[in-house]
Structure 1
Amino acid sequence: MTHEDASLRPEFLPGPPERPTGPAVLRGLRRRCPCCGEPGLFDGYLKLQPACTVCGEDLSPARADDGPAYLSILLTAKVMGTLQLFTYEMFQPSPWVMAGTFSVGVIAMALYLLPRFKGMIVGIQWAKRMHGF
């Protein structure tokens, strides 16, 4: 096989330019467009805009599915479970106080993290050109 034949194989053909993953992930965590960083990634709480209103980047190929919910539950359970154990060991409040305060805390934390994790996953997909980006 000659050098010219090897350069025509698909793995050696030039692909699209690299996109920086780090800034795209940070922009997604802040619920901003992974391309330009301007606000307005979502149209509401979790519904993605079809395209960025500033730079026009097509966001319709993004498919976050269950990833944000899984990550929200995972982090919320780890943090709040540890905090609940620490609180019980240190202060020993009544079960009703524990149930009331930690129920509110768990719901608030999960709802806060959910759109941020969805933005992060959209940022990763955009940077890695996944799902048609």
Structure 2
Amino acid sequence: MTPPSHTEDSLSGPTDSGKRLLLGLRRGFRRKCPNCGHGLAFGGYLKLRPACDVCSHPIGEYRCDDAPPYFTIFLVGHIVVPGVLMMEQTIKPSLWMQMSIWLPATVLLCLGFLPFIKGAVLGTQWAMRIKG
């Protein structure tokens, strides 16, 4: 027995909005099409595909360009700043050592988190039916 497919049409009632949001977030974090969960949402690192290869949902109509960097910086800041402060309190390294450790770590964390957060924003927009 196969599980029911959760597409845009199957989750349309007002009581399903919470389920739809969680479903969109889960599919977005996986960088999949928020509508079907099978097709890829991204054609590159951050470039959205015009449409899903599986269900033909118009992914390119969603505008999730500005929010993901803000959420990424917020998240990475909450990871990096405690590390910087703990390192400063415990071993008191020089400024150049702090910079040589934490600047690359910050850049790598931002580059690592950004596509997944953009996918989550895409899934949220799908769940709330926000386009353009």
Gaps of 5+ in 2: 1-10
CA distance in 2, matches of 1:106, 1:125: 27
**For this pair of structures, how many residues does the alignment match?**
117
- When residues 64 and 96 of structure 1 are mapped into structure 2, their CA distance, relative to the original with a 3 A threshold, is same
- Give the TM-score normalised by structure 1: 0.80
Regions of 4+ moved over 4 Å: none
What is the match of residue 78 of structure 1?
Answer: 78
- Give the TM-score normalised by structure 2: 0.81
What is the match of residue 17 of structure 1?
Answer: 12
Question: How far has the Cα of 1:39 moved from its partner?
Answer: 5.0
What is the match of residue 129 of structure 1?
Answer: 129
- Work out the percentage of aligned pairs sharing the same amino acid: 35
CA distance in 2, matches of 1:94, 1:58: 51
Gaps of 5+ in 1: 1-15
Q: Deviations over 1:23-79 (max 9, x none)?
A: 110111121111222252111111100111122111122011210011111111121
Q: Does 1:104 align with 2:99?
A: no
Q: Does 1:53 align with 2:48?
A: no
Question: How far has the Cα of 1:80 moved from its partner?
Answer: 0.4
Question: How far has the Cα of 1:130 moved from its partner?
Answer: 1.0
Name which one, 1 or 2, has greater alpha-carbon Rg.
Answer: 1
RMSD over aligned CA atoms reads: 1.7
Contact 2:39 2:55 in 1 (8 A): no
